[in-house]
C-alpha cells in the first residue's frame, strides 16, 4: 500500500513534465502554414516523357500532397497546361492568342482531373473548381465555396487559370492565393530554388535562400511572370520556390523547415 501511494505521488509530481513534453511534441509536429497555394507547372507532370502525363509522377505528387494534408494544412492547387498545349505558341501555328489561351485553359483542366484522380486514390477528398463553366466536370469557381471546401479539409484544385486570355497560370495562382487568403504560394519546380542563372545549363549557378520581389524583377529572374510577382508584392504574399521532385520537400516546407528560396519584401 505504501509503495502504491508513493508511486501515485511520483506520478502527480511528474505530471507537469509529461504535459510539457506533450505540448512540445505537438508544437514540433504543428505545420507552419495553415493554408497554402501550391503551383505546379504542366511540364512537371511529363516526367521523362516529352509530352502528356506521366502516371508515376502524378502518383508521386499525390503522395506528397497527402502528407501535407494529413499534417492539417489546407491546400489549394493550380496546375499549368504546358505539357499538353501552350497558348503562347499558338500564334506560331496561325491560331489567334485568345483562342490559343482558351485551348491552354482546357489543357489545365485535363491535368487537374488527372491530379484529382490520383489524390482521391490516396484517400484524400478533393474538389475541382473551374474558372470556365464545365458543370459535368468541375464546380464553378466561387470564392466562398472554395474557402468552405478548404475549411472542411478538402484539397481544392483550381482549373482553367483565371478564365481569361492573356493571363498565365502563375497569375491565376497568385490571384487564387490572395482570394482564399493563403499564407504563402509554394511553387514546385525541377530545381532547388531561385538561382542567379539557370542551374540546368550552368552547374556553377548559386542559389538564393531569400530574395525580394524587386530583385526578382530587376534581375529578370524567371520565377513567375511580372503580373504574378506584382500581385504578390502588392498583397505581401510570400512565395517559396522549391524542388517538388524530392521526397518530403513539400512536407518539410509546410512544417517550417528551410527548403528552397523565400521571395518576399
Q: Is the pLDDT of residue 98 over 70?
A: yes
Nearest to 139 by CA among 156, 118, 125: 156
Alpha carbon distance 217, 230 (integer Å): 9
Q: How distant, in Å, are the alpha carbons of 18, 115, 155 from that of 191?
A: 42, 21, 25
Q: Is the pLDDT of residue 132 over 70?
A: yes
Alpha carbon distance 114, 167 (integer Å): 23
3-state secondary structure of 17: helix
For the segment 14-48, what is each residue's pLDDT rounded down to a tens digit?
666 655 545 444 445 789 999 999 999 998 998 88
Percent helix, strand and coil across the chain, each rounded to 5? Answer: 45, 15, 35
Name the percent of the chain lying above pLDDT 90: 69
Q: Is the pLDDT of residue 103 over 90?
A: yes
What is the number of other CB atoms lying within 10 angstroms of the CB of residue 7? 10
Alpha carbon distance 61, 39 (integer Å): 12
For the segment 206-250, what is each residue's pLDDT rounded down to a tens digit?
999 999 999 998 888 888 999 999 999 999 999 999 999 999 999
Q: Is the pLDDT of residue 161 over 90?
A: yes
Residues paired with 155 in a beta bridge: 126
Question: What residue segments make up the domains of the chain, in order of their start?
Answer: 1-30, 32-264
pTM of the model as a whole: 0.86
| Domain 32-264 CATH assignment equals 3.40.109.10 | no
Amino acid at each position: 500500500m505504501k509503495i502504491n501511494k508513493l508511486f501515485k505521488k511520483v506520478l502527480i509530481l511528474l505530471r507537469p513534465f509529461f504535459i510539457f513534453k506533450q505540448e512540445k511534441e505537438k508544437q514540433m509536429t504543428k505545420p507552419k502554414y495553415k493554408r497554402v497555394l501550391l503551383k505546379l507547372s504542366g511540364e512537371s507532370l511529363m516526367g521523362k516523357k516529352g509530352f502528356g502525363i506521366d502516371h508515376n509522377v502524378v502518383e508521386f505528387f499525390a503522395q506528397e500532397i497527402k502528407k501535407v494534408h494529413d499534417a492539417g494544412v489546407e491546400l489549394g492547387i493550380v496546375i499549368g497546361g504546358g505539357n499538353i498545349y501552350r497558348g503562347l505558341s499558338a500564334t506560331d501555328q496561325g491560331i489567334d492568342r485568345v483562342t490559343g489561351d482558351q485551348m491552354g485553359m482546357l489543357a489545365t483542366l485535363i491535368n487537374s482531373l488527372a491530379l484529382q484522380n490520383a489524390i482521391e486514390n490516396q484517400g484524400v477528398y478533393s474538389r475541382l473548381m473551374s474558372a470556365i463553366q464545365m458543370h459535368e466536370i468541375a464546380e464553378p469557381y466561387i470564392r466562398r465555396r472554395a474557402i468552405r471546401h478548404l475549411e472542411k479539409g478538402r484539397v481544392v484544385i483550381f482549373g482553367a487559370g483565371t478564365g481569361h486570355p492573356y493571363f498565365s497560370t502563375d497569375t491565376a495562382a497568385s490571384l487564387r492565393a490572395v482570394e482564399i487568403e493563403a499564407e504563402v504560394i509554394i511553387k514546385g519546380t525541377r530545381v532547388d530554388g531561385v538561382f542567379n542563372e539557370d542551374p540546368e545549363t550552368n552547374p556553377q549557378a548559386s542559389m538564393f535562400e531569400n530574395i525580394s520581389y524587386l530583385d526578382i524583377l530587376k534581375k529578370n529572374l524567371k520565377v513567375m511572370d511580372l503580373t504574378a510577382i506584382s500581385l504578390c508584392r502588392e498583397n505581401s504574399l510570400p512565395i517559396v520556390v522549391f524542388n517538388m521532385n524530392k521526397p518530403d520537400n513539400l512536407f518539410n516546407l509546410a512544417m517550417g523547415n528551410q527548403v528552397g528560396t523565400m521571395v518576399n519584401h
